[in-house]
Chain A
Amino acid sequence: MLSSEQDRAIPLNGQQHEPIVSIRDVRKRYGSLEVLKGVSFDIRRGEVVCIIGPSGSGKSTLIRCINGLSDIQHGSIIVDGIEVRDPRLDVIALRRKVGIVFQQYNLFPHKTVLQNVMLAPRLVLKESKDVVEQRARQLISKVKLDGKENVYPGELSGGQQQRVAIARSLAMRPDIMLFDEVTAALDPETVKEVLATIKELAQDGMTCILVTHEMGFAREVADHIYFTDGGVIVEDGPPSEIFGNARDPRTRRFLSQVL
């Protein structure tokens, strides 16, 4: 566990209810297809949020908008004081606050595990090699890949690669982590190890936003769950409410299919 990250992730008194991400009436369309039709919600510091819903409901698009990988045509997303639609947006400042892990890991195949984790802090943060390497080794150990530092991604299992991707994102010391269906491409037996890593991260106090199909995990780890369908949030609430006592028939139908 890293003290510096812990310090930053644990909310200070009085800021408890200050949202770190604030999403207001976000709309997005691809050509004539509207994928987000006015989505609004807030995420507090240290909160773990899961977004669930049928495929094609705009979940992935939504979280890709939070770090500016996709742009929005209407509404606003404010991340720790930075507005993503600001024409003078400092996209680097935004992305340094927001780490993202993808479904397909997207590791750099020609770099070892250690090099993958060290690349961005060295090039972007311009930190010294020793400092970065020390932190990288700690992170690799945190995701339980000790001994794999000098191995190439192609030699690792999907679950191991995904944990490297998490360590790589953490090396930039983000305030918020986005997880875009990170277990969807994995073998069932390696899903567990990745979820354990995320769970530990959540317990350390990291703000996490997950798009996921792992309902058991969502129920166990999330502070709040949003159910999306057809580009809108149909229903939201704490896990006990959503899984125990969903109000909307669409939510109930979806849950009955996946559980």
Chain B
Amino acid sequence: MTQAETMREARSTSFNLRQAVWIAVIAVSLFLVINVVNNQNHAGSDGSATAVLLRWMPYILEGFGLNLVMSCLAMVLATLFGVPLGIAQQSQSAFVRLPAQAVTHLFRNAPWLVVLFSVMYLIPANGNFLGQHVEIPDWIKATFAFSLPVMGNISEIVRGAIRSIPTGQWESASGLALSRRQTMIHIILPQCVKRSIPSWMNWYALLTLSTPMAAILGVREAVGSAQAAMEAGGGRPDFLIPFYLFLLCLFFLYIYPIARLTKKLERKYAVV
């Protein structure tokens, strides 16, 4: 292979900005074509699908805000639970290690939707907490549900990162008379952070892409709002494509840059 060929190949294997622009152009033109066709079919009815979509857009965007809030909160929860769980998986005591492995295994292998159902139905919607009557809104419960599968996967990432640290690090730390705990906190974990960041971000993206499932249980996030808007606008079948296409674009615009950054970091840290 000549060098020119090698370079051409390297260029084509990395998805570049131009392709992203192309996707946007294609999506927008598809959107417009569909709307024009729709408008011709429904001339005379009260407003084109585009007009209805535009009217309800602020409402849908507000719903999308809830997707973002849920994804961020769930990620915080998942990290808070997942990191200790991952460390526990590497514990020397079987009493700690085995339950941690079981929990990790369970939540990594159960479908998100099943976890969502179990949290929604098995955790009471209201109850007494320290003598006070509290009601837990559905979106909070959904957020908690979404954090569980991610927790399992973060636990596994942490375990993998700890294992990937060469044993020489453990040996030299014990040579300096550090305890296992001290070694973990001061030597091992700091080295794990950098190499875990790309997978962590990848799971954030997957988490965000799962938040629409909350709509199934009546949470008014973007998809739920869009469905409600379609209903309110008259429930016409010509709404379906533009509304769902709009939702796809919305998520793509948010997730694609994150995915790009993840790829970039992956490549950057792979060298180290």
A–B contact (CB under 8 angstroms): yes
Tell whether B92 is near chain A: CB-to-CB under 8 Å: no
Among residues of B, the one whose C-beta sits closest to the C-beta of A29 is B3
CB distance from B8 to the nearest CB of A (A): 15
Q: Please, which residues of chain A bring their CB within 8 A of the CB of B3?
A: 30-31
Among residues of A, the one whose C-beta sits closest to the C-beta of B1 is A69
CA distance A69 to B3 in the complex (A): 11
Taking residues whose C-beta sits less than 8 angstroms from the other chain, chain B's interface range is: under 10
In the complex, per-residue mask of B253-265: 1 if CB is within 8 Å of any chain A CB, else 0 = 0000000000000
Q: Which DSSP category, helix, strand, loop or mixed, fits chain B's interface? A: loop
CA distance A69 to B1 in the complex (A): 6
Tell whether A6 is near chain B: CB-to-CB under 8 Å: no
CA distance A242 to B134 in the complex (A): 94
In the complex, per-residue mask of B30-63: 1 if CB is within 8 Å of any chain A CB, else 0 = 0000000000000000000000000000000000
Q: Please, which residues of chain B bring their CB within 8 A of the CB of A30?
A: 3
Tell whether A71 is near chain B: CB-to-CB under 8 Å: yes
CA distance A77 to B2 in the complex (A): 17
Tell whether A203 is near chain B: CB-to-CB under 8 Å: no
Tell whether A70 is near chain B: CB-to-CB under 8 Å: yes
Q: Please, which residues of chain A bring their CB within 8 A of the CB of B2?
A: 70-71
Q: Please, which residues of chain B bring their CB within 8 A of the CB of A69?
A: 1
CA distance A71 to B6 in the complex (A): 13
In the complex, per-residue mask of A8-42: 1 if CB is within 8 Å of any chain B CB, else 0 = 00000000000000000000001100000000000
Q: Please, which residues of chain A bring their CB within 8 A of the CB of B1?
A: 69
| Residues 45 to 79 of chain A near chain B (Cβ within 8 Å) | 69-71
5 A-B pairs with C-beta separation under 8 A: A30-B3, A31-B3, A69-B1, A70-B2, A71-B2
Residues of B within 8 A of A (CB): 1-3
